[in-house]
Structure 1
């Protein structure tokens, strides 16, 4: 914890106040840039000649470059590990949607520790660890939040976004927009220590990018291909490379802003990705891609620049991972804390600053469903019991388990011990309801609900989907919720309705209370999004602009129940499409 001088002592020695203030000003600023679905090989500094990323390459050369940095196989788990310093299977995060992405409320985040130490904190981009308060980033230590809380988003040009739990319209291409907001935050807080977290949502699908970046790749035949070239989808690779060059341009803008404000010397800049690449493209001959717990799914780039402390061209050959970022940054800032829970990460500041003589190697765990893989400094034991010497065989082509039974036994014991430790937190059924009333306004998106009676989501991936195909009064939409504060709540449904279905009466019911309203206005916009795709979006939903309709007020007590939307009357051929219900406490 930061040491504070007693008031009486300051009264006797007022010079101590100025000294303390000066010391506080020496806290390093922190800018953390996290990309989404960018592989280890998606940068020119890794030897990929298919693209050029000069700004990120320079960032790496100006500071420390981790040769072996590990995250999780998917987005939300990596975010949980970075935020808590704990392997995600301990944190309540089990998946990437329908509530499984939520970080348990008894976990304390990096942003909370830094905020307590006097940092201004903000996040601009994809959160993906819970939407409803108290899971929302504004409740997890971030003073300001601008982005989206889901794992997927269906459109990247001026989309609907969340600004401090209020729906707003974005301004331009999302990666550019998030960068603009981050630079504004940096400038606003230039005289105080700040933590600026920039979790970009690219190159995650949908594969959308402005022409000025895509044109270079529109007809390109990349020279460097995936190790299994028959699996590579050329159109996907072209789009991903263009999106990575856009990221590089935006990273350059942030670095330039730090220079302009004379902040670069004492600002820690971290750059890494959340999992392996989202398609089969060049990735240094590694096995697997996003979703895999082999090298190709979990090894990512990580660069750390801090001119005041880290020498240029520092190469780190020791294994490290997302779980190490929380203790490392607190250590770099000189912030001593008592951790809310035991952490798995450790400070890698000694590696960054060259004091690593007594560094002790340790295993890094990767988990996917019931599979566990263990990575040591030299080797990986995969989930099937195969052993590989990664330093000699990064492609995991030669199983050496038969000639190294002692090592297999030792690494399997690590996996078995971890499995027993997370039996309840990860392997048990997730029975958490969605929380309502912990702040004034609570969104309940289609992603978190269930359709019945023929009602279905607009796409297989739930994150930015909406409910459609509501044809009869047998249909209903439900959410499992817990009301945290009693009171009167206005129920607002975000809907579309064609002319022939006007007159449908929609009811909201929760904890024995009911309220309803009749749809009197046509709102039937076309869906959009796919027309901007550079490659088939697969399971991503298109988007629509939905209209709010107040259904009236529910007087609710505290408690758990099922929020149900039903159609009391359908005079036409169907009811409505539903994107959200918001419960707004009066």
Structure 2
């Protein structure tokens, strides 16, 4: 048995729950919220009273760890397996996709009779078989990309169909979740609520921004000289908005008299997305140091977890699938290897047989190792975290045997887990027309621009293609058509009046669709009017939706190409997205 993997098998050891008493489950996952972005952890600049109350009424983990960035943490929560074993090596352009042979937590609970839904940022693949509806979630409302460019009534999707959101996205996601819970209150439900804040762009309604826009930040921290104050203010305002929504959600399950037998989890996906107060720890989002991977974890279940439970043992996001399975009495197949362990004994106060653990954190080739007391950083320096949370004084010389043992763990991880890992080994095509879905989104994010065509921003997730000026220019996608059929093609584009009239061609393996851009649509860039701090990502537009026509596509792999046959003006169009709908 490998050191990083166990099998969760057979009957569950602690209190199997009868079917009639299956607990409901709500998992709230925030995006780029650091451990220190909560008042319960000592941040004096904000108040997160609802989240704090949830922690006080249940279990509070002191040392809980996730991955350094978004998509790996999501992969590990959803599958119970390390992201290096899931096909996840990046946060965009296909590298965020979780291999379809990995069973996800939604499918596990769906098979056990749960109603399953996800509301928010998916970030584990867009097209089938990677889409949330393909991974066990009957209901999905949100966006599949890694970040979004507009948080106020943006374009979202509902079970594959593109629609317009309703108000500020986190409020909208919460509303949808509450309605779903109300609709399914008489059945056990599993609701996954992956909020997309405080990830940039730093947008938040006035109600929360007004409290923070002139707030003096008084808490000292090691990176204070590098802190971007308005960015911090916006992040804290977004965290208070999250807290308000958590309060609404908890009030809803109280109103429906579901709280007693509902398990509610709260965690974040990585460290803070800025240099701000974080308990004195070194590292932020993207780092394998303590501050980059330490996350809050609060678990409330009044039926079984004693209020005020504090858990000092190091634990991991990899533990959540086996934990929830055991708590809900859901059996995990013997052939399904999980890299974590069930935390149910700790949650139930049975820690006498708990074994010491070693956790490994990785991103972009940097490997860090954590034991209960020490952390070995990616450069081989050992720190006593209990005495030195800021990782300022290496102790390799004081405890060389510990440093050597942890270095061997890091070396073994590199040799066993990082073999064939990364983009250079990724040949997975983007799937069009999967047999289980009539809708396929084909965004600019997943395409390759040729010739003069450029992206609107170096971060692909919510970008669009521009500067399409030559007949030699094209956009291509490495695709696989899952099912032969006729597909309706819709474009999301912009084009000024002076440039309308270009003829474009979509082709795949000999089948061709041609059409013209005949309707002018030239809206201004948007997003900056809502930003509280200047973003690094692309601004967005209100793209026009146009039916291009129908194309016959044959099952198999090939290159999907979009090119111009005639250019009427100075450019063809700015391109954001195609939506293909199987119509036969």
**TM-score using structure 1 length:** 0.95
Deviation at 1:525, TM superposition (A): 1.5
- Which residue of the partner structure matches residue 561 of structure 1? 558
- Equivalent pairs counted in the alignment come to 567
Measured in 2, the distance between the counterparts of 1:221 and 1:339 equals: 55
Judge conservation of contact 1:507–1:551 (CA < 8 Å) in 2. Answer: no
Of 383, 392, 412 in structure 1, the residue corresponding to residue 387 of structure 2 is 392
The C-alpha deviation readout for 1:31-69, integer Å capped at 9, x for no partner, is 110000000000000011110110001000001000000
Q: Structure 1 unaligned runs (5+)? A: 4-21
Judge conservation of contact 1:2–1:335 (CA < 8 Å) in 2. Answer: no
Q: Does 1:108 align with 2:103?
A: yes
- Which residue of the partner structure matches residue 492 of structure 1? 490
Q: Does 1:237 align with 2:249?
A: no
- Which residue of the partner structure matches residue 95 of structure 1? 90
The C-alpha deviation readout for 1:138-176, integer Å capped at 9, x for no partner, is 000101000000011001010100110110100000110
Deviation at 1:350, TM superposition (A): 0.3
Measured in 1, the distance between the counterparts of 2:420 and 2:81 equals: 12
Q: Does 1:142 align with 2:137?
A: yes
- Which residue of the partner structure matches residue 308 of structure 2? 313
Measured in 2, the distance between the counterparts of 1:226 and 1:97 equals: 32
Deviation at 1:132, TM superposition (A): 0.2
Measured in 2, the distance between the counterparts of 1:186 and 1:444 equals: 31
- Which residue of the partner structure matches residue 11 of structure 1? none
Of 235, 260, 265 in structure 1, the residue corresponding to residue 255 of structure 2 is 260
- Which residue of the partner structure matches residue 435 of structure 1? 431
Deviation at 1:494, TM superposition (A): 1.5
Judge conservation of contact 2:506–2:561 (CA < 8 Å) in 1. Answer: yes
Q: SS in structure 2 opposite 1:530? A: coil
- Which residue of the partner structure matches residue 9 of structure 1? none
Of 247, 250, 256 in structure 1, the residue corresponding to residue 245 of structure 2 is 250
The C-alpha deviation readout for 1:335-375, integer Å capped at 9, x for no partner, is 12215542111100000010010001221111111121111
Measured in 2, the distance between the counterparts of 1:469 and 1:292 equals: 35
Deviation at 1:548, TM superposition (A): 2.6
Measured in 2, the distance between the counterparts of 1:157 and 1:550 equals: 26
- Which residue of the partner structure matches residue 5 of structure 2? none
Deviation at 1:283, TM superposition (A): 0.1
Of 170, 173, 178 in structure 1, the residue corresponding to residue 168 of structure 2 is 173
Judge conservation of contact 2:10–2:334 (CA < 8 Å) in 1. Answer: no
Listed as ranges, the matches of 1:216-365 within 5 Å are 216-365=211-360
Q: Structure 2 unaligned runs (5+)? A: 1-8, 12-16
Of 27, 33, 39 in structure 1, the residue corresponding to residue 34 of structure 2 is 39
- Which residue of the partner structure matches residue 549 of structure 1? 546
Measured in 2, the distance between the counterparts of 1:329 and 1:227 equals: 37
Measured in 2, the distance between the counterparts of 1:447 and 1:162 equals: 16
Deviation at 1:425, TM superposition (A): 5.2
Judge conservation of contact 1:92–1:102 (CA < 8 Å) in 2. Answer: yes
Q: SS in structure 2 opposite 1:186? A: helix
Measured in 1, the distance between the counterparts of 2:407 and 2:444 equals: 41
**Which deviates the most, 435-444 or 346-355?**
435-444
Q: Does 1:182 align with 2:177?
A: yes
| Runs (4+) off by over 6 Å | none
Report the CA distance shift for 1:535/1:583 in structure 2 as closer, same or farther (over 3 A). same
Judge conservation of contact 1:132–1:436 (CA < 8 Å) in 2. Answer: yes
Deviation at 1:232, TM superposition (A): 0.6
RMSD: 1.4
Judge conservation of contact 2:18–2:329 (CA < 8 Å) in 1. Answer: no
Judge conservation of contact 1:61–1:312 (CA < 8 Å) in 2. Answer: yes
- Which residue of the partner structure matches residue 13 of structure 1? none
- Which residue of the partner structure matches residue 531 of structure 1? 529
Deviation at 1:530, TM superposition (A): 1.0
Q: Does 1:57 align with 2:52?
A: yes
Q: SS in structure 1 opposite 2:81? A: coil
- Which residue of the partner structure matches residue 4 of structure 2? none
Q: SS in structure 2 opposite 1:532? A: coil
Judge conservation of contact 1:101–1:130 (CA < 8 Å) in 2. Answer: yes
Measured in 2, the distance between the counterparts of 1:582 and 1:481 equals: 14
Deviation at 1:554, TM superposition (A): 2.6
Deviation at 1:424, TM superposition (A): 4.1
Measured in 2, the distance between the counterparts of 1:33 and 1:425 equals: 33
- Which residue of the partner structure matches residue 366 of structure 1? 361
Measured in 2, the distance between the counterparts of 1:506 and 1:299 equals: 49
Judge conservation of contact 1:36–1:199 (CA < 8 Å) in 2. Answer: yes
Measured in 1, the distance between the counterparts of 2:419 and 2:182 equals: 45
- Which residue of the partner structure matches residue 8 of structure 1? none
Of 453, 462, 475 in structure 2, the residue corresponding to residue 455 of structure 1 is 453
Deviation at 1:333, TM superposition (A): 0.6
Measured in 1, the distance between the counterparts of 2:364 and 2:234 equals: 30
Judge conservation of contact 1:389–1:400 (CA < 8 Å) in 2. Answer: yes
